[in-house]
Structure 1
C-alpha cells in the first residue's frame, strides 16, 4: 500500500476536528497586526483578530509560507517514508504556491497542488485527497485527480461589509461606497483562481442568505451531493442552521459541514461573511 500524507496551508479553514478526522497536516500562514506577527490558527483566531483590528483601527497584513518553512514542515514526513501531496491557496491570491513548488522540487517526492481556490474550497480538495489516500492511491494518482476536481469547485461568499475588501485593494472604492449607500450585500465567487463580484443583494443578511443559497443551488446547477461546506466569519448559530435548512431544501447533500474562516481569509472578507462551497459533477 502506498504511504501518502496530505498536507495543506491554514487557508483551508477546516475545523480541528475535521483536520484530525481526515488526517490532514496543516502549516500556518502569518498574520501581522501592527508590529506583532502571529501564526494563523495557532497563535491567533479570527475572533481575536477582529478584536485587535477594532482596538488599533488597522487591517492586518498576511504573509505567505516561505520555501524554508515548507522544507522544515515536510522533513519529518519524508524521514518516515511518506510521499506528500500539499495543497495551497490559489496562486492568483498568494505566493504560497510558488514557494511550495520550489520547495517541492528541492525536496522531491512532494506533489504541489495549486487549488485555484480558497477556504473550504481547498478543504473539499483535502477531504477528496484524504479519501483517495485511504483507498491506497499513490501521490501521483491523487495529484492527477485533484487537478480535475479543482475545476469543479463551486465557491462563493456573501459579505456583510465590503470595507475589508476595499481597504485590501480587492474591491474598488466606488463599489464599496455604492454598496454602503444602497445597503447592498456583495456576493463574491471564485473563478479562474480569482475572486470576483457575481451578484448584489439588498436587505437583511438573514433574508439575503436564503436567496443566495437558492441562487447557488438552482435547478441549473448539477451539484455533487457528497459534501457541502457552510463557512462563515462570525454569524449566529440561528443563521447557520437556517442556511443548512435552506441547503437541504434545495439538495439532499450527504454531509453538511460547518467551519469558521481562519484569519487569512477573514482578514479579506471581514466579519459576518458566509458562503456555501461544494463540487459540481
Structure 2
C-alpha cells in the first residue's frame, strides 16, 4: 500500500524538513491580539516573542476541519491510506477532531494517538517511515506505535508561569507565589498529559533537575532500548538553544543529542526562556 503521512507543526517539524521527509505538514493557528497567524507561514519566532514581550494577548486554536479533510481528499487520490499524526489527545482536542473526521473515510485515514508532542511526535513519524519501508501496512504501523506510546519522555522547565496561568493551567495565586520565590517548575509529559514534576529555586537548579530526570528514565524505564535524546528551548535567539544543547550533550555523551526550537503553539503556554529534554524510542 502507498501511505501518506500528515502531521502539524506541533511536531516541531519545519516546512523544509517536511518536504525533505516527504510528508505533509499542517500549520497550527494561534491568535495574537485577536489576529490569526499560521505557524511557519506568517509569523517568525522573532516577531512572536517581540509581541509576547510587549504584552500581547496570545492563545492557541486548532486547524479548520475543512483544511484537514481537503488535504486528506487530495492525498487519497494518489495514496491508498493516510496516517495522520496529531499531538497527544491528552493535551489538545485536535486528536479527537481528527478521529471524528476520519470516521467518514472508510478506514483509509488512520489517526495515530501515541500520546506524543513536539520532538517525540516527530520521532514517531520517523519510526512510521521505517516501519512502512519494512512493508508494514498503515494499520499495522498505527497499532505498533500506539502499543509503544509510553516509550518516550519529556521534561520542561519554564522561566515563568504567567502564560500557563493565562491558559488556565495554573492559578493566578500559584503563578504570583512562584514569581516572588523565584520558583521554576519542572513539568513532565508522561502518558500524553502535562503534569508537575518538581519545583526548584532558579533556572540552574531546574536544568540540573531536567538532566537528572532524563538520566533516571534512560537507566530504568528505557534500559536496554534504543533511544534518541533531544534538547529543546523557547525563544527568538537560537544561541540559547545551542548553549543548552551542548549542556545536554555533555550530560549524555553516548547519544547524539538533537536540538529543536519549541513550536510556537507550545510557546504560547511556556513563554520565552523555557528549556527541555526528551527521549523517544528509535526504530
Counterparts of 2:207 and 2:70, CA distance in 1 = 42
Tell me, in whole angstroms, the C-alpha distance in 1 between the residues paired with 2:94 and 2:50. 27
Residue 66 (structure 2) aligned to one of 59, 65, 68: 68
Q: Deviations over 1:218-258 (max 9, x none)?
A: 343535444222121126536634544444533622x4221
Task: Give distance in 1, aligned partners of 2:105 and 2:241.
Answer: 45
Equivalent position of 1:196 in the other structure: 195
Change (3 A) 1:119 1:259: same
Normalising by structure 2, we get a TM-score of 0.88
CA distance in 2 between counterparts of 1:226 and 1:116 reads 17
Structure 1: distance between partners of 2:231 and 2:15: 16
Aligned length: 277
Q: Which structure 2 residues correspond to residues 50-89 of structure 1 after superposition, within 5 A?
A: 50-55=49-54, 57-89=55-87
Give the conservation status (yes or no) of the 8 Å contact 2:233–2:241.
no
Q: Report the CA distance between 1:161 and its aligned residue.
A: 1.1
The answer (yes or no) to whether the contact 2:152–2:190 under 8 Å persists in 1 is: no
How does 1:181-260 map onto structure 2 within 5 Å? Answer: 181-203=180-202, 205-206=203-204, 208-218=206-216, 219-222=219-222, 224-234=225-235, 237=239, 240-250=242-252, 252-253=254-255, 255-260=256-261
Does structure 1 retain, via aligned residues, the 8 Å contact 2:88–2:115? yes
* CA–CA separation in structure 1 for the residues paired with 2:198 and 2:7: 30
Aligned-residue Cα RMSD (Å) equals 2.3
Q: Is the 8 A contact 2:230 2:279 kept in 1?
A: yes
Q: CA deviation at 1:269?
A: 0.8
Between stretches 230-239 and 257-266, larger displacement belongs to 230-239
Alignment of 1:121-136 (within 5 A): 121-136=120-135
SS of 2:149's equivalent? helix
Distance 1:164 1:28, change over 3 A: same
1:151 alignment counterpart: 150
CA contact (8 A) 2:185 2:206 kept: no
Helix, strand or coil for the counterpart of 2:279?
Answer: strand
1:92 aligned counterpart, secondary structure: coil
Distance in 1, matches of 2:194 and 2:144, equals: 24
Residue 187 of structure 1: CA displacement? 0.8
Alignment partner of 1:151: what SS?
Answer: coil
Mind listing any 5+ residue stretches in structure 2 that lack a counterpart? none
